[in-house]
Each structure stands twice: as structure tokens, then as C-alpha cells.
């Protein structure tokens, strides 16, 4: 019994030991399986490369991002090789990496390294050659989509000289072309000279191959004098500073230039490129995917060598202006334009400058200023009869001798006299009424000028805001055109992969053409509004200017923004604010002041017509006449007839017409009716002005809240467009759904832009209607106005 029990115990212990042993083995096996396979990747570069560290890191980063979940990859320093810039040096370094037992895979990062790699018929280690510039020229192996060579694949960048030459010729015509080539690439590719010579013969172009080393200045000096255009291939050794010297040298020689490689070349001063901005990133991403496929066990010889890249024309407009080369409108419309705004334009405008310029030079306002100036003299003219009137005269006469004798010296037969007269109106109702009425009319002319001044401020402000609005709309339409072109490229990819048919491609091509027409119309509209602003400012219509952008954060608009923000967050105050604006508008309105001046003039005319019945005109007059010479009969002789040579008189005169055929009665009746008409007109204008103020403020009630609402809608539409675009690329969404999403996004962006400018224009309308542009007042007066508004509302 005891023996059986011990057996059971031993058996149980044995099972436990077996179980524990199996568990430990299973754990060790699981640990070993959890560790991802490790690969060492060697990197070979041609030689010294400017910014080579960052260049290599770009590829390393993409490879790690793709492989890190399934594999462990490293880039040992011992496997990072830099050749000496010669094919011999590249060959030695490549052989060293191939023979190194630590090497699992090799990246040939450079045209020389890639050229040497594609010569290998059966390398013992996998090689990726990403820098095959022109597979046909370099005679790269190809069998179906892949290289067909064991352990070898490459990336055919598809940048042949012929394609770039033809694209360049679409921009500028030329018969003599210089191609700048890295001197290492030129030495390593003897077929390049033959290819270029054949290319020149085929296209009737004289081509000069110019090797480039480290100096940009030297490269420009080596370009032949007869060169008309320059094609720039990848220049691996040249620094940014030297490349700036290169581009500046080309500009100084007025040579148009085209980059075969590197969107940044155009940023640094070359004229144009068809290379997309993300070419290097896409290449690094493509290489990382190839690495992943190799690590997953794909047959490297069958991996496709094609490189899918878009073609996106970019033009540096600053360079175009500097060398005097302007591509056609059709070419520029589909391109990305760098430095489109002319920095050399010295005339820069903002809202304040626009208003100041309009007030100082607008012709309509100048006309009103002249009316006011002339009116001031009209007031003085009307006052002049009330002031002393002095006059002098000289007269020579001859009368009949009989009359002279009878006059006994009072009227000599021949006499030459000199005299003076003076008159002072003591009271004249006509003269006083005319003077008073003219002063009222001058007040009316000043009010008319103030009204025109407000109109000029309003028109200039609206014209400027319309320039900003139209430039924004033009930019959005251009962005939409570029989006359509991108979708056309996506449709082309879908067609190549069999996801879509040719009808989809045609649909996008049609939309591109339609979008180009829209952009052309918007550009014309931009020119129209800019020229209209120049007219208001009395500037040459074709004069260019830079319009400074503005939004609600602009310091000038903070006052209005804060006010309406407060009102719309407490809507019950809005009605009180409208009452306040009506009160302010009726007080400040120059149009009402002009009508009041007319009423005052007419009231004085009524008083004058009443006084005409009983108030005489009273004046004081004095005359003096001196006889300078007399002859003939009837001469003056103080001793004989008591007459000396001087006569004078002084008198007070009063006159009152008693009957003028009913003129006084008719004048009074007419004056009273005219006065009644003006009173009615004033009442009517008050009502219309009050309504105008209410309409203007009601507009802001809708336009101000629309700003945030439309921005939210635009943001949502953009997110929706991104989702639909991604789904379209993956074949989930149709072209109709993408077109709808794109149209919705565009309309939402347009609505968001319009919302801001609509409010700003409505804000100007409120200020014009109340007769006072608050945003142009000094800060102290702005705050006083705001405080009055708050006090009234509270």
C-alpha cells in the first residue's frame, strides 16, 4: 500500500517536472519567435555630397518607419561608405560591401553608385539603385516590370533629357541650350555625350554640356556666350551658397533656366521645374517599400522599377521678371507660382492709406472743395453792399454856349472835372436778406462737401475691401484648379490600375479646362477692382500696388469687432443700439444739415418778403466834384458869380416801393410754399435715413455671426474632402462623390472668405449711414463714441 502511494507521488513529481520543463522550453521558444529578424543595411554614396547627412537620414527614416513593426534594421557606420567621386572608387566600395559578411542589403544612393550597381549581372547581395536618372540612356537591365537580374532592383526616375528639353521649350523658345551636369556624373556616363548630341540633332538645338563642380560662379563662366537657355541637372556637390551664386549669375546674364531635379532649385532662383516639391520624400518612401518587399521574401528581380511621380510645373515669377521672360497665361494658370507678388512694387496700400489718398486726391471731392471755396467769396460778395461804397470819377464835357451863359458858371461851356462819391446803406432788407441767405447756402455747400467726403471714404474703403476679396477669391480658384489637376493625376493612376475607365479621365480633363476659364475670369475681375480703386484715388489706372491683407484682428477694426461681438452676445441690446445709431445719424448727417441750411435760407426769404411791404431802404450818400479845367462861356468865377471849383452834397435817402404789379404777394406765397416743401422733404429724408441706418445695422446682424459659422462649415468641408479623396484613391468612392466634395469645399471656402469681407463692408455701411467713420477717428474719440453707445444701451 505504502509502495503504491510512493509510486503515485513519484509519478506526480515526474509530471510536474515534465510540465515545468515544457513550459520553460515553450517560453524560450516564444521569446525567440518574438524577436524580429535583424538586417544590416549598407549605404554607398558617390562621394562628398552637400548636406549628405540629411540626405541619407531621409532614406533611413522612411525605411525604419516601414520596417520597424516586422523587422529590426540598422545602418552600421562600418557599412556606410563614401566613394571618391570616380567610378573606380565606387566600384571598389561596392565590392567591399558585397564581400562584407555583415551586409544584408545595399542602398546605392547616388547616380554613380546606381550606375555601377545596374552593371552587376548577378550580385551576391541584394542591391537597390534608386538613382537611375534615365534607364534607357544608362542601358539599365529590364525584364517585364522588374530588372530581371538576381539580387538587383533599381528606381527609374524617368527624367530623360529629351522630356525636360521639350517641357522647357513650352516656356521659352531657344536654339542653343547649355546643360549643367555634375562633373562626376558626366565622367561616369560616357553615353551622355552621345545621347545629348543625338537629342540636339533631333530637335535642331545646339547643346553644350557644362560640367559643374563646387563653384557656382565658375559654372556660369563656363557657359558659352551663344547660350539662350540653361537646363540644370542634379548638382550633388554644390552648396546652397554656391548655388545662389549660380542662379544669380544666370539671372544677370538673362538666361532662362529649368531644373531637372529639385523643387528647391527654383526657390533658390532658377526659373522653373516640372519636378514636384515632394519628389525626394516620395523616392525615399518608394525605396522603403522596396526594402520591405525584399525583407518579406519577394523576388527582387521582379520588383517593378518604375517610379510613379506627378508632373507639377513651378515658376519663380521673381526670376521671370528679372530676366524679362513671361510664360503664357495658359502655362502659368496650371502652375505653382513662387513670388507671384512683385516685391519691387514700392506702392503699398492699407485701409488707412487708401482713405487718406482718396481724401487728398479724389477729383469729385476736389470739385466740392472748389464749390466751397467759391462759395466763401459769394458770401463776401453778398455782404459787400452793406459796407461803405466809395467811387471816383473824372469827366470832360462840352455844352451849348447858350446853356453855359444861362447857367452863370454852374455849367461852363467846356469843363473837365474829377469827383468822388460815397454811399453807406443804413438798412436794406434786400441786402441783409441776400447776405444772410448766402451764408446759409454756404453752410449747405459745406454740408454737401462733407457728404461727398463721406461717400469718398465709403467708396474707397469698399473698393479696397473688394480688391482684397477678389484677390482671395482668385487664390481660392487657383487652389481649386491645382486640386483638380491633382485629381486628374489620381484618375490617371486609377486608369493605369484598372480601377477606372477613360471616361473618368475625360471628366477630369473637362473640369480642368473649365476651372482654367474660371481662373481667367477671376484674374480679370481682380484687374477691374484694382483699376477701379486707382480711379477713386486719382492714380494711373494701370499703376500696380500691393494690398495689405486685413481681417478682424486688424487694430483698425478692433473697435467695431468688439462692439458687435458684445451686441450679438446680448441680442436684447441690439434694438437699443439701433436707436442710438439713428440718433447719432440724424445728428451728424450732412445731408440733413444741407436741408436745414436750405430751410433756414427759405425762412429768411419769407421774412424778407413780409418786410418788403413796410420796411424802406435807407442809405447815406455823399458826393464831391472838383473842376480841374473850364473854358468858353459860363466859366466859374468866385468873385463874379460866387462859385468856386468844388461842389459837394450829403444826404439821407429812404425808398419804399408801394406797388410792383403784385410781385410782393407772389414772392411771399412762393416762399411759403417752398418752405413747406423743404420741411416735408426733411421729414421724408429723416425717415429714409433712419431706415437706411436700420438696414445697415440689420445687415451686420447677419454678416457678423456668419463669419464663424462659415469658417466651421469650411473646416468640415475640407475634412470631408480629404476623406473622400483618400477613399477615391483607394477605389471606394466614385468620381461623382469626389466632384461633389470638391465643389462643396470650394463653395465653403468662398463663403468663409466672403463672410469676413461682407461684415467689413456692412460695418462701413453702418458708419456711412450715421455720418461718422468711427474706425478712422483718433483713439480717444473712438472710446468716447463707444462709451456713448454703451451708456445709451445700458
pLDDT of residue 373: 93
pLDDT in tens, 724-774: 988 888 788 888 999 999 999 999 999 999 998 998 899 899 989 999 888
3-state secondary structure of 421: strand
Give the integer Cα–Cα distance in Å for 80 and 123: 18
Using only C-alpha atoms, what is the Rg of the chain? 47
Fold entry, domain 170-274+313-338: Rossmann fold (3.40.50)
Cell numbers at 423, concatenated: 454811399
Cβ atoms of 447 and 593 within 8 Å: the answer is yes
3-state secondary structure of 548: coil
From the list 283, 308, 336, the residue with the least C-alpha distance to 131 is 283
Contacts 24+ apart (CB under 8 A), 383-388: 383/435, 383/438, 385/425, 385/428, 385/431, 385/434, 385/435, 386/425, 386/428, 386/431, 386/432, 386/435, 387/424, 388/422, 388/423, 388/424
Class of domain 38-155: alpha beta
pLDDT in tens, 670-729: 989 999 999 999 999 999 999 999 999 888 888 888 888 888 999 999 999 999 988 888
Beta strands in 736-794 (DSSP E): none
DSSP classification of residue 549 = P
105-109 and 127-132 strand pairing: parallel
Q: What count of Cα atoms within 13 Å lies in the side-chain half-sphere of residue 202? A: 11
Per-residue pLDDT band at 195 (split at 50, 70, 90): confident
From the list 194, 199, 156, 155, the residue with the least C-alpha distance to 177 is 199
Contacts 24+ apart (CB under 8 A), 323-328: 323/251, 323/254, 323/255, 323/256, 323/271, 324/254, 325/171, 325/172, 325/256, 325/271, 327/171, 327/172, 327/272
- Distances 68 to 18, 71, 125, 284, 756 between C-alpha atoms, Å: 37, 5, 22, 16, 48
Per-residue pLDDT band at 530 (split at 50, 70, 90): very high
Give the integer Cα–Cα distance in Å for 627 and 676: 58
Per-residue pLDDT band at 19 (split at 50, 70, 90): very low
Please state, rounded to an integer, the average pLDDT across all residues of the chain: 85
- Distances 760 to 352, 459, 786 between C-alpha atoms, Å: 14, 13, 18
pLDDT in tens, 29-83: 444 455 567 888 899 988 887 776 778 888 888 888 887 767 888 888 888 888 8
pLDDT in tens, 277-319: 778 888 888 888 888 888 888 888 888 888 776 677 888 988 9
pLDDT of residue 202: 86
pLDDT in tens, 94-151: 999 999 988 889 999 888 888 889 988 888 889 999 988 878 878 889 888 888 889 9
Amino acid at each position: 500500500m505504502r509502495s503504491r502511494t510512493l509510486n503515485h507521488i513519484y509519478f506526480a513529481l515526474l509530471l510536474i517536472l515534465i510540465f515545468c520543463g515544457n513550459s520553460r522550453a515553450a517560453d524560450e521558444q516564444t521569446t525567440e519567435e518574438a524577436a524580429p529578424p535583424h538586417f544590416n543595411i549598407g549605404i554607398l554614396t558617390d562621394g562628398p555630397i552637400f548636406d549628405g547627412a540629411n540626405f541619407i537620414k531621409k532614406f533611413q527614416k522612411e525605411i525604419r518607419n516601414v520596417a520597424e513593426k516586422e523587422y529590426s534594421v540598422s545602418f552600421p557606420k562600418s557599412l556606410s561608405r563614401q566613394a571618391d567621386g570616380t567610378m573606380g572608387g565606387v566600384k571598389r566600395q561596392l565590392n567591399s560591401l558585397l564581400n562584407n559578411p555583415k551586409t544584408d542589403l545595399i542602398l546605392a544612393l547616388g547616380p554613380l553608385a546606381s550606375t555601377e550597381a545596374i552593371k552587376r549581372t548577378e550580385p551576391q547581395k541584394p542591391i537597390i539603385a534608386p538613382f537611375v536618372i534615365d534607364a534607357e540612356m544608362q542601358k539599365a537591365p529590364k525584364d517585364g516590370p522588374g530588372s530581371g537580374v538576381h539580387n538587383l532592383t533599381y528606381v527609374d526616375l524617368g527624367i530623360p533629357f529629351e522630356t525636360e528639353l521639350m517641357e522647357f521649350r513650352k516656356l521659352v523658345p531657344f536654339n542653343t541650350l547649355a546643360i549643367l551636369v555634375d562633373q562626376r556624373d558626366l565622367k561616369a556616363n560616357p553615353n551622355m555625350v552621345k545621347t545629348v548630341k543625338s537629342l540636339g540633332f533631333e530637335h535642331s538645338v545646339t547643346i553644350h554640356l557644362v560640367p559643374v563642380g563646387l563653384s557656382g560662379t565658375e559654372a556660369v563662366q563656363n557657359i558659352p556666350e551663344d547660350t539662350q537657355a540653361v537646363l540644370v541637372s542634379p548638382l550633388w556637390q554644390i552648396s546652397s551658397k554656391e548655388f545662389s551664386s549660380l542662379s544669380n549669375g544666370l539671372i544677370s546674364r538673362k538666361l532662362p533656366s529649368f531644373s531637372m531635379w529639385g523643387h528647391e532649385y527654383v526657390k533658390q532662383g532658377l526659373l522653373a521645374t516640372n519636378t514636384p516639391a515632394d519628389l525626394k520624400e516620395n523616392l525615399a518612401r518608394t525605396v522603403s517599400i522596396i526594402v520591405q518587399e525584399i525583407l518579406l521574401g519577394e523576388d527582387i528581380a521582379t520588383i517593378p522599377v518604375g517610379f510613379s511621380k506627378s508632373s507639377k510645373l513651378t515658376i519663380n515669377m521673381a526670376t521671370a521678371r528679372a530676366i524679362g521672360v513671361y510664360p503664357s497665361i495658359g502655362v502659368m494658370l496650371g502652375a505653382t507660382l513662387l513670388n507671384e507678388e512683385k516685391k519691387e512694387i514700392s506702392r503699398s496700400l492699407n485701409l488707412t492709406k487708401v482713405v487718406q489718398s482718396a481724401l487728398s486726391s479724389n477729383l469729385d471731392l476736389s470739385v466740392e472743395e472748389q464749390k466751397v471755396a467759391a462759395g466763401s467769396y459769394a458770401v463776401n460778395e453778398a455782404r459787400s453792399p452793406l459796407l461803405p461804397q466809395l467811387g471816383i470819377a473824372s469827366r470832360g464835357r462840352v455844352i451849348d454856349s447858350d446853356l453855359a451863359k444861362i447857367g452863370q458858371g454852374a455849367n461852363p461851356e467846356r469843363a473837365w472835372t474829377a469827383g468822388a462819391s460815397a454811399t453807406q446803406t443804413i438798412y436794406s432788407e434786400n441786402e441783409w436778406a441776400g447776405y444772410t441767405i448766402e451764408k446759409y447756402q454756404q453752410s449747405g455747400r459745406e454740408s454737401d462737401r462733407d457728404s461727398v467726403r463721406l461717400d469718398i471714404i465709403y467708396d474707397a474703403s469698399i473698393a479696397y475691401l473688394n480688391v482684397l476679396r477678389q484677390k482671395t477669391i482668385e487664390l481660392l480658384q487657383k487652389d481649386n484648379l491645382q486640386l483638380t489637376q491633382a485629381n486628374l493625376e489620381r484618375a490617371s493612376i486609377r486608369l493605369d490600375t484598372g480601377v477606372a475607365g477613360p471616361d473618368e479621365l475625360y471628366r477630369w480633363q473637362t473640369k480642368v479646362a473649365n476651372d482654367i476659364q474660371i481662373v481667367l475670369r477671376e484674374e480679370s475681375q481682380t484687374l477691374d477692382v484694382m483699376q477701379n480703386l486707382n480711379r477713386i484715388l486719382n492714380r494711373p489706372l494701370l499703376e500696380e500696388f500691393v494690398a495689405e491683407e486685413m481681417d478682424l484682428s486688424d487694430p483698425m477694426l478692433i473697435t467695431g469687432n468688439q462692439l458687435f461681438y458684445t451686441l450679438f452676445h446680448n441680442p436684447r441690446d441690439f434694438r437699443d443700439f439701433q436707436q442710438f445709431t439713428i440718433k447719432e445719424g440724424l445728428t451728424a448727417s450732412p445731408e440733413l444739415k444741407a436741408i436745414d441750411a436750405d430751410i433756414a435760407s427759405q425762412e429768411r426769404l419769407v421774412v424778407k418778403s413780409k418786410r418788403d411791404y413796410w420796411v424802406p431802404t435807407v442809405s447815406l450818400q455823399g458826393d464831391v466834384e472838383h473842376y480841374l479845367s473850364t473854358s468858353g462861356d459860363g466859366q466859374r468865377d468866385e468873385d463874379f458869380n460866387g462859385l468856386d471849383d468844388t461842389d459837394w452834397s450829403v444826404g439821407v435817402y429812404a425808398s419804399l416801393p408801394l406797388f410792383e404789379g403784385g410781385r410782393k404777394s407772389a414772392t411771399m406765397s412762393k416762399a411759403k410754399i417752398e418752405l413747406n416743401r423743404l420741411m416735408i422733404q426733411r421729414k421724408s429724408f429723416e425717415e429714409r435715413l433712419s431706415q437706411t441706418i436700420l438696414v445697415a445695422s440689420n445687415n451686420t446682424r447677419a454678416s457678423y455671426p456668419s463669419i464663424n459659422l462659415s469658417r466651421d462649415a469650411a473646416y468640415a468641408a475640407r475634412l470631408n474632402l480629404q476623406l473622400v479623396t483618400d477613399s477615391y484613391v483607394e477605389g471606394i468612392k466614385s468620381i461623382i462623390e469626389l466632384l461633389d466634395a470638391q465643389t462643396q469645399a470650394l463653395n465653403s471656402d468662398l463663403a468663409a472668405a466672403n463672410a469676413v469681407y461682407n461684415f467689413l463692408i456692412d460695418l462701413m455701411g453702418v458708419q456711412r449711414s450715421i455720418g461718422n467713420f468711427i474706425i478712422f477717428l483718433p483713439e480717444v474719440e473712438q472710446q468716447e463714441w463707444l462709451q456713448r453707445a454703451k451708456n445709451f444701451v445700458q
